[in-house]
Structure 1
Amino acid sequence: MYTIRSLKSLALLEAIEKPVKISSSEFKHHISASSKTAARVLKQLEEDGYIGRQLVAGGQMVQLTEAGVEILKREYTDYQQIFCREHEDLELYGHVITGLGEGQYYIAKEGYMSQFREKLDFRPFPGTLNVRLKDQSAQLRDNMDMIQPMVVHGFNDGERSFGGVKCYSVEIEGIKGAAIIPDRTHYPTDLLEIIAPLKLRETLDISDGDEVRIVVKNPQRCE
């Protein structure tokens, strides 16, 4: 009953970024409960692994763990699905994985590259960053269908034909790029390919298994 409310209250007190000192008599006001209940809730959150807690004079030092932050992220994605889903930017989380190694070949094709430069306003690094979306984000990816993509048309280079690609403007850890979804694809729906003007692995100093935050930009987002 108190888990989400308590974690949110602690997060608002900046307990994600650093340990914060709080007593049960203070915390009870944040969750509208008695001091006894507030003390029990903090103890339960610690036992569940959602917070780290150290008893000190006059209270305790409390900080959210990764598991606690993950609970709030899941709650946040649920609210994204409820409110303004057709207009807001879409926030996704996933882990970097090694792709099939085909990105460099396709991105470097002039038939694609010229359209990327024109429609995305940058020249992509010849390669893609592959991200395996976490469960909640994989479900949210369907909401990308509500965002108008930029379309890169298929072409024939004289030897073979290449299919079209849908592009969505994104920011990955603050760097502008694009998520690309080929028309001809057998990739699972929890996989996202990202292109950017930089080599993202080097620029962001990330490797397989690292978690990244991807914001899919909606040009018609609500105010």
Structure 2
Amino acid sequence: MDQIRYLKTLALLGCDQKPVKISVKDLESDLEASDKTISRNLKFLEEQGLIEREINPSGQMILISSAGMKLLSKEFADYKKIFHVKEHIDLDGTIVSGLGEGQYYISIDGYMDQFQEKLGFKPFPGTLNVKIKDYCFDLRKRMEEFPYVKIEGFSDGQRTYGASDCYPAQINGVCGFIIVPERTHYKIDLLEIIAPVKMREALNLKDGDEVKVTVGEIC
């Protein structure tokens, strides 16, 4: 089935904002499919966690889940790449210390090789961590609509390492990428930024300093 087509149709009916009462008949003309096919595919979307449904005698309420919206956002980002749409957003935040995990993961060959090939540079082994302001949360969500570079997950034979999405970004003229691991509980208020230089030293930054992170294809 075409998951994107179903999600797009549901979103246009308002299911991206709140649960909407929708019958299979409502979808037949848009999806050009039989009621049995539509019912089967809606059940599949629900099983995949892409929609939430509440079925009762009077009909069904449908809401696109966060996973479904993320799928639509990534599709939107791909179309922006195709049509060369360039835009940017500014996120205000504060420099904070990380847990030291960035240095370990970035230095792993399976990641480092992809960074060099796909991002065009060898990152400094560590991340600059920026905690964004509360009022930037909505803008941060928009970031997922932007073009990004996919870093694939891999296995070294002993353990599996997850994939990540990398969004181009800039702080005070220094270009890098915000790296967003594809894991369920990633904190939306924290940006982890990689660059070819140690950004703390290059920009003379310390914990507590306030910065503006410009996200988008501007470098």
Is TM more than 0.5 here? yes
Cα deviation per residue 1:16-73 (whole Å; 9 max; x = unaligned)? Answer: xxxxxxxxxxxxxxxxxxxxxxxxxxxxxxxxxxxxxxxxxxxxxxxxxxxxxxxxxx
Instruction: Provide structure 1 residue ranges, at least 5 long, that are not aligned to the other structure.
Output: 1-85
In the TM superposition, residue 139 of structure 1 has moved relative to its aligned partner by: 2.2
With normalisation by structure 2, the TM-score equals: 0.58
Please tell me whether the aligned partners of residues 90 and 218 of structure 1 are also in contact (alpha carbons under 8 angstroms): no
AA at the equivalent of 1:169? P
Deviations, residues 129-182 of structure 1 (Å, cap 9, x unaligned): 110001222221001121121100000112111000000011111101000000
What percent of counterpart residues are identical?
51
Q: Which residue of 2 aligns with 1:105?
A: 104
What's 1:52 paired with? none
Distance across 1 between alignment mates of 2:198 and 2:101:
15
Aligned partner letter, 2:98: G
Amino acid at match of 1:179: I
Task: Map 1:29-108; keep pairs closer than 5 Å.
Answer: 87-108=86-107
Q: Which has the larger radius of gyration?
A: 1
SS at match of 1:169: strand
RMSD across aligned positions (CA): 1.5
Equivalent-residue separation in structure 2 for 1:142 and 1:116 (angstroms): 24
Matched, 1:182 2:181: yes
- 1:186, distance to aligned residue in structure 2 (A): 2.6
In the comparison of the two structures, how many residue pairs are matched?
134
Match of 1:137 in 2: 136
Q: Which residue of 2 aligns with 1:192?
A: 191
TM-score (norm 1): 0.57
Say whether 1:204 aligns with 2:203: yes
Residue 93 of structure 1: CA displacement? 1.1
| C-alpha distance after superposition, 1:82-131 (max 9, x if no partner) | xxxx8521111100001111000000001000111111111100000110
Paired AA for residue 192 in structure 1:
L
